[in-house]
Structures are given as C-alpha cells and as structure tokens.
Chain A
Amino acid sequence: KQLDAVDDDEFNRSKILLLGLRRSGKTSIRHVLFENVKPSKNFIETDMTTKMSKHKIDSIIPLEIWDVPGHANPEKVMEELGVPLSTFSTLIFVIDICDNYPKAIEYLLYFFTNAYKENQEINLEVFIHKADARAEDYRNENARNIQLRIFDELADLPPITLNNPSAPNSGASTPSVTTIEPSQIPIVFHLTSVLDHHLLQEAFSRVLMRLLAPACLPFLEELLNAFCGSSHASKVFLFDTRTKVYVATDGSPVDSATHNLCCDYVHMLNSFGSLYKSSSASSNRQERRIRAPLHPATSTP
C-alpha cells in the first residue's frame, strides 16, 4: 500500500538502483549511458553527489534509475531510499576496480543479501568499473579476484531466511519461510569503464535483457534468428534507439567489434536526426509518412 503512494505514475516503471561507494563512478555511468555526455580525457568533474536522484528513461521498457550517494553506513542509504529494496527490479552495484575491496564488498553483501531476502526475482548486477585504470593484462585478473572475493564472502555468511513476497499473507504475521545458502544467490558481473562506452553499453544491454527475459526475450530472439536466416544477415541486433543499447540479438555469439560498429551507427543516426531538422517542414512529414498508406486519396492536410 505504501508502494502505491510512491509511484502513482501513469504506469509502473521498472526501477533500477545504482549502488556503490562514493566516487565509484555511478553518476558518470549514468551520464554516459543516458545523457549523451562524451567522456573526454578531462572527463566530467561530477560534483560529489549528495542527494538521491531519480531519472526516468523511456527505453523499450520504461525505466527509472535511482542514483544514491554512497554513505559509510548502508543503513543511511536505506533511510534515504525510503522504500524497501523489493521496489527495484535490478540492483547495479558499481565497484571501482582499484578501490579497497573489503569495504565495497561488505557494502555490496549488505544490499544484495537483503534484496534477495525480500525478492528472489531481483536481478543483481555488479559493474567492475574504471577498467581503463588497469593495464589490459591485469584487468581480467583483477576482475576475477573481485569476483572470487565476493563468492568467498558469500560462502562465509550464515544461511539467509527468505521473506517470500509471493505468499498470500505477506503481512508481518505468518510469512512463508525458507532458507538459502548465500552462495546460491545469482549475481552477474560486468567489466565497465566510462572511457569505453561500448563496454558500458554492452553491460547495460545485458542488464536490460535480463529485465526483459521472462516476458519476451525468447520470442524476440527467435524472431531475429528467423530474420537472419531469411535475409542472409550475419548478425542482427535489435536496438533501443533512445538508450542506444541492444535489447535482443540472434542466437549467434556477439562479437564485440561488430557490436561496437552497430552502436556507433545508431549513435550517428540519432545525432543526425536533429541536425537538419527544419522548423517549417518537419511537422507534417512524419505524419504524412504514416498516414499515406491509410488514406491514399486524401493528402495534404
């Protein structure tokens, strides 16, 4: 009931929570992914985020991105959120590849275990960020270390008790209860960097695909497989043109060079879109294009 009060939006947006210690790169990621900021060398001196902010993104699924500043104490973050973690479809935890892991990992465990406790359908994603700060050879090794650390820590935790939200009486009286080993919590890892926007776009594609998965991903993939077959295309991506990430692709493996080129192409088309926009000619054009087949006889509005 409390939830309804928070989002009496026109429709329900899938909510994604960006988490991470201070300066881990959350705001920068948001800027590059959704605000078309070009990361140059002397990139965004993002002001220290001090307030939580929410951002509506109209991608193929309506999203709302919540960006909360890191606090030393995770309970402070919960307080600032003001809603339970079960509000979110996805948690993205941003961890700086050079950061002191123990603190970040402790932070991560707090949120991931609590979120999972409340909702076993939640998608838990980790962005191992600022990959550019490590030489290529060490990058993957570093990322693997972080992953192992997280798994180790999870294994050391006591079994967690699930509050099953799908139970009929989800009031405080008698929630149906099961327990799970923390090491079984599914977590997906991505290596990211704002200086390599393709890497970031690919990571966010995968986040979106997991969000779509139960509902329509299998159908989309089948559709694209069929398209590939009948058009002799070697690879097909279905892009969300707003966010410039793909939301589905055919079954063949994704080769990052091809993906990068497609991203750049979509970016270019998007940028061209407004470049030669005419203040006098533009408005009717789109309408006519759509309307023409419907009323072929009655043109010129």
Chain B
Amino acid sequence: MKKKVLLMGASGSGKTSMRSVIFSNNPASLTSRLGATIDVEQNLVRFLGDLVLNLWDCGGQDSFMDSYLSTQRATIFQNVGVLIYVFDVESREMSKDLEYYRDCLEALRKYSPDAVVFLLVHKMDLVRNQKGPILERKTKDLRDNSGDTPITVFGTSIYDESLYKAWSRIVHSLIPNAAVLTKHLKIFAEACSATEVILFERTTFLVIATSHETAAPPTTANGTTTTDLTSEDTGDPHQLDPTRYERTSELIKAFKHSCSRMREEFRSLDMELPDYTAVLDELTKNTYIMVVVHDPTIETAAIKINIRLAREKFEELQSESLP
C-alpha cells in the first residue's frame, strides 16, 4: 500500500533538512550543506509491512510553487494521503507564505479531499524567549488561514526531539492497524511485567505504537497538539516524562549515527540503569521494540526471551492487517 506524502513550504524553510535527518539518518549539523531542491524530489520509503511512503519533497522557490499550482496542479495534488506544510518561524514573508498555503489547500480540497494536513512551525530553536506564546500566535494565524480544513500544528526543530514528535504523529496517522498493534503491545507488556513497551520503525526510529496509548488517538480532527501531552498521563502511577518517546527516538538515532561513523552496526541495547531496565531489540523485519521495566526482580535475560518469542506473532500481525 502506497501513501503519498506531500512536503511543501517556502524555499529554505527546512523541508529537505528534516527529510535527511529523519529518513537518511544525517546529523542536523550537516544540513547546511544541502542545496535548494529543484522541482520535486520523490522518495520511496518502505515503512511497516507493506506500507510504503511516497515522499514528495517539493522545492519551494516561487517559480516552482507557481507551476505546482497551475500546470502541474493535478499531478501534485492527486491521491495525497498527507500534506505537510512547513513554515519557517522566522520567515520574513509570512503573508506570501500564507497565500501560497491557502492556494495549496484549495487545490488539495479539490483533488484529495480526504488528505490529512499537518503544519510545522519550523526552526523553533531560533526563538530564544517565549517559545510558547509565539507558537500559540502562529497556530492561531494558521488556523485562521485554513478555513474548515482540520489541521494539526507542531513546533519543530531539527536540533531537538520536537521533530521526532511531529513525525511520529504523522506516520501514526498513516498506519492502518495502529490500534491493533497497541492492543498487542499491552498484552506483551503485561506478560513481561513491563511498565511500558514501545514499537519503533527500524530505520527512522519513529514511534509507531506504544502499550500506553489512551483511548483518544493522538491526531483527532482540529486537535492542536502543542501542549496536550500532559493530560495524557492522568491516572498513571509512574508519571513518566511526557517527552520520553521523541527523546528516545532522538537519542537512538544519534547513537546509531555514532556507530555508523565507526562502521559498526547498531543491533540492540540492554540498559540496567539505577531506576529501571530497558531492552531495545529487533522485533520484526522493520521494527524495533523497547521494553521498559521498573520491577527490579525481572531479569534482563527474561525480557530478551520474551521478545524472541513474540517475534512471530508480530510479523503475522503486520502482514495480516496490511492487505
């Protein structure tokens, strides 16, 4: 199953940079070497099971934008699963950016009325003070420019974990059997006496599902996901850090990159830390699983055996529900 993902926004807003950080495992510091994207760069990213992301990175210079909106209109905006529109938080030409955005949205409504729209207010690291209020103001601005189309806004930066949070939510919205996965992760967590179990996609280390999800899916219509995560953990005796997932993705990606510099392959990770034990290991062909256990009587080796025993079931789950 192919899902077309449009990545759009003004030139220099950071589209290609985020793509190279998330999908090519490049460090953020190297993105300054990227040149402007000419026309559209298409990438196929094999994701879970049969799910393939067809990523269209659309160069943002005016001449390209004009042609997307005119001669290429149908080609670009047809069959879109997700539109990700990137705004540079420090953009000098916000009104022009918004005008292009509104035009794109209009084309999208016509050719792909069911597409899900994510807006990224990017380069948040450049904002020194008052990140919260600035993001709120931008969010309101974007909402006013979106008409009836439901949107989800994230503040992001390639220099911290916020990028992983946004992209995890984005891919989560594309996975058809996320709820089934969550259900099985819960069962597995119980079997391991684990506090939490997290499933990652193998190359991007984006979070696909966790054993912890509450009933409400993270990307509901109109939900502005800026400060929502705090409420998610009510009733949880552990009260784990709400940013843990995206920070885990970021940490592991960074370490994978360190390994690759040594030409060493990253395989798995066992951590016996003062507060908990965590085991990160391959689960299926394209996923990794992390099991977090706070109970000190549970042995690391036992967790590893459980992971091995669960492999087959999860392979099955993936192929089953993705026709």
Interface, chain A (partner B; CB < 8 A): 38, 40-42, 45, 195, 257-258, 260-261, 264-265, 268-269, 271-282, 285-286, 288-289
Contact with B292, one of A42, A265, A276 (Cβ below 8 angstroms): A276
Instruction: Enumerate chain B residues within 8 angstroms of A271, measured Cβ to Cβ.
Output: 247, 251
Contact with A276, one of B196, B255, B259, B296 (Cβ below 8 angstroms): B196
Given A275-B241, A280-B239, A282-B275, 19 more contacts at CB 8 Å? A40-B28, A45-B128, A195-B29, A258-B262, A260-B258, A261-B259, A261-B261, A265-B258, A268-B254, A268-B255, A269-B273, A272-B248, A272-B278, A273-B273, A275-B248, A279-B237, A279-B239, A282-B294, A289-B274
Contact with B238, one of A38, A42, A280 (Cβ below 8 angstroms): A280
- Write out, one digit per residue, whether chain B residues 297-311 have a CB within 8 A of any chain A CB (1) or not (0): 000000000000000
Instruction: Enumerate chain A residues within 8 angstroms of B231, measured Cβ to Cβ.
Output: none
The answer to whether B159 and A38 touch across the interface, beta carbons within 8 angstroms, is yes
Q: How far is the CA of A281 from the CA of B193 in the complex (A)?
A: 13
Contact with B254, one of A45, A264, A273 (Cβ below 8 angstroms): A264
Q: How far is the CA of A281 from the CA of B294 in the complex (A)?
A: 6
Interface, chain B (partner A; CB < 8 A): 28-29, 32, 125-126, 128, 159-160, 195-196, 237-241, 244, 247-248, 251-252, 254-255, 258-259, 261-262, 264, 271, 273-276, 278, 292, 294-296
The answer to whether A273 and B275 touch across the interface, beta carbons within 8 angstroms, is yes
The answer to whether B275 and A286 touch across the interface, beta carbons within 8 angstroms, is yes
Instruction: Enumerate chain B residues within 8 angstroms of A278, measured Cβ to Cβ.
Output: 195, 237-240, 275-276, 294
The answer to whether B195 and A281 touch across the interface, beta carbons within 8 angstroms, is yes
The answer to whether B276 and A265 touch across the interface, beta carbons within 8 angstroms, is no
Instruction: Enumerate chain B residues within 8 angstroms of A260, measured Cβ to Cβ.
Output: 258, 261-262
Q: How far is the CA of A280 from the CA of B295 in the complex (A)?
A: 11
A42 to chain B, nearest CB (A): 6
Q: How far is the CA of A114 from the CA of B292 in the complex (A)?
A: 55
The answer to whether A277 and B275 touch across the interface, beta carbons within 8 angstroms, is yes
Given contacts A275-B241, A280-B238, contact A269 B271 (CB under 8 A): yes
**Of listed A269, A278, A280, A286, residue having the most chain B CB within 10 A:** A278
